[in-house]
């Protein structure tokens, strides 16, 4: 009988997947990358996903982020079975419920830092609705960028920003619409340790302050140690869950 700490049970599930399989066609033969993954991200939880490269972390993340459709299995975002919804609804989930932070920042090079941060709101609203709220959104983005020490970088293009600065803009972008779920794919993987530390600090502070559920993919043991729960992935399976007793 597995013992689950009682405080975790009452928590709701923000994001979950059950029996997720994903196979790709390589030549003629299908190659299965995920072999039935079950994962639950609880509300307000800080969950780290670790694993060797090639274990299927990114594939799983894409599926959890609704960017990729599982070959088999279910993905639930706040209880909603995402792949039974219309593409439009799914896009809305991505837009409003999930924030992404990527390893390579993925800012739009033609937009300034501020514009990049406001982009999710532009995607959410039509022209009229956005223009009437533009001031608020810009104010909100400014406030966040200020908090992330980017007060003098509003009108810089990504190419004029350092890696750490770009990632901080990306965090501001991910948080603009106050999504309850945040998915970060090795957010410090491309930064030196000092810059990475600052980015991480911001990310974790915001997570705590907002009570956001954070799913963090990382290679870094120390980073994982700062999370409430750690999942280890190997060969397309969740091999170990730190919240479970280590099997003997």
Using CB under 8 A, which residues numbered 49 to 68 contact other proteins? 62, 65, 67-68
User: Does the footprint of other proteins cover residue 108 (CB under 8 A)?
Assistant: yes
Least distance between other proteins and beta carbon 129 (Å): 8
In whole angstroms, give the CA distance from residue 98 to residue 179.
5
Sequential DSSP letters for 94-151:
HHHTEEEE-TT----TTS-HHHHHHHHHHHHS-HHHHHHHHHHHHHHHHHHHHHTT-T
* Residue 83 burial (CB count, 10 A): 15
Least distance between other proteins and beta carbon 61 (Å): 10
* Residue 210 burial (CB count, 10 A): 15
- Contact in structure between 165 and 173 (CB atoms under 8 Å): no
Only one of the segments 40-48, 123-131, 207-215, 238-246 lies at the binding site for other proteins (rule: CB under 8 A); that segment is 123-131
Least distance between other proteins and beta carbon 91 (Å): 4
Encoded one letter per residue, x for contact with other proteins by CB under 8 A and - for no contact, window 136-165 reads ------------------------------
- Contact in structure between 61 and 20 (CB atoms under 8 Å): no
Least distance between other proteins and beta carbon 69 (Å): 10
User: What is the SS3 assignment for 199?
Assistant: helix
Using CB under 8 A, which residues numbered 72 to 91 contact other proteins? 87-88, 91
Residue ranges in contact with other proteins by CB under 8 A: 62, 65, 67-68, 87-88, 91-96, 100, 102-104, 106-111, 119-120, 122-127, 129-131, 173
């Amino acid at each position: 009988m597995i013992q689950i700490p009682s405080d975790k049970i009452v928590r709701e599930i923000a994001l979950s997947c059950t029996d997720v399989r994903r196979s790709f066609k390589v030549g003629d033969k299908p190659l299965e990358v995920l072999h039935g993954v079950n994962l639950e991200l609880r509300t307000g939880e800080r969950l780290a996903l670790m694993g060797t490269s090639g274990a299927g972390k990114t594939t799983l993340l894409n599926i959890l982020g609704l960017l990729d459709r599982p070959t088999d299995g279910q993905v639930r975002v706040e209880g909603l079975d995402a792949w039974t919804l219309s593409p439009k609804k799914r896009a809305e989930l991505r837009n409003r419920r999930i924030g992404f932070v990527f390893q390579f920042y993925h800012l739009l090079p033609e937009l300034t830092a501020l514009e990049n941060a406001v982009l999710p709101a532009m995607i959410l609203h039509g022209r009229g609705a956005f223009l009437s709220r533009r001031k608020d959104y810009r104010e909100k983005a400014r406030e966040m960028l200020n908090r992330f020490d980017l007060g003098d970088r509003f009108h810089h293009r990504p190419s004029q920003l350092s890696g750490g600065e770009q990632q901080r803009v990306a965090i501001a972008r991910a948080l603009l619409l106050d999504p309850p779920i945040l998915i970060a794919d090795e957010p410090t993987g491309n930064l030196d340790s000092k810059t990475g530390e600052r980015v991480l600090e911001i990310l974790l502070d915001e997570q705590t302050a907002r009570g956001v559920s954070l799913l963090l993919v990382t290679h870094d043991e120390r980073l994982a140690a700062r999370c409430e729960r750690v999942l280890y992935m190997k060969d397309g399976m969740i091999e170990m869950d730190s919240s479970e007793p280590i099997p003997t």
